[in-house]
Amino acid sequence: MDEQLEKAKQLFFSYQGHFFQMNRGGDSEEYKSYCVAKEVEAEWYKEMIDQVAGELSIMNWNAVSRMEAIVKYYKDSMILEKVISFVSQHIKGSDSIVKLMYAEKIIEIIRSLKNVLSDEVLHKALKVTLGTLEDIISKPLVIDPGHELKLFDLKDKKSLNNRARKNIDVLHELLG
């Protein structure tokens, strides 16, 4: 890859493909000067999604927040599929807060992608998210060190369950 294209890629990744933010950051004119083809940008989005998907973790949810941010500009169901795959494989043993945060991020990703999702992907996402929320409600409150309830606008198990139930209602709305 030549030096100019590499610089364009660095800019693209640093702004997560958000051209509005690139403009606000004062780098859009430089980026435009590289005349990057839309096909190349699409490849970069896929590369970025794969990279961020590899960073998904139950220890923190920065990566899932980045996925949520990317989906606002790049409407690809692959983003949701990668998050759902991670949640299906890794979240069962997590604390109640991690489960809630992932469920809420998935709901936002679904909202952003609602018009481009296949029925199959939508139903799989809804099933995994509903299962996660029901798991929160049915099991005792488990909080790992550093995950204080008040940091997440929660007071106790009852408030956690209420928030999970509200998210279940949102899922039903998304289906309707």
Tell me the per-residue pLDDT of 51-110, one tens digit each, with 9 for 90 and over: 999 999 998 789 999 999 999 889 999 999 999 999 999 998 899 999 999 999 999 999
Residue at 42: amino acid letter? A
Predicted confidence (pLDDT) per residue in 34-49, tens digit:
999 999 999 999 999 9
Banded pLDDT at 1 (limits 50, 70, 90): low
Q: Are 22 and 28 in contact (CB under 8 A)?
A: yes
Mean pLDDT of the chain: 94
> pLDDT at position 161, please?
97
Banded pLDDT at 175 (limits 50, 70, 90): confident
CA contacts within 13 A on the Cβ side of 39: 0
Q: What pTM did the predictor assign?
A: 0.90
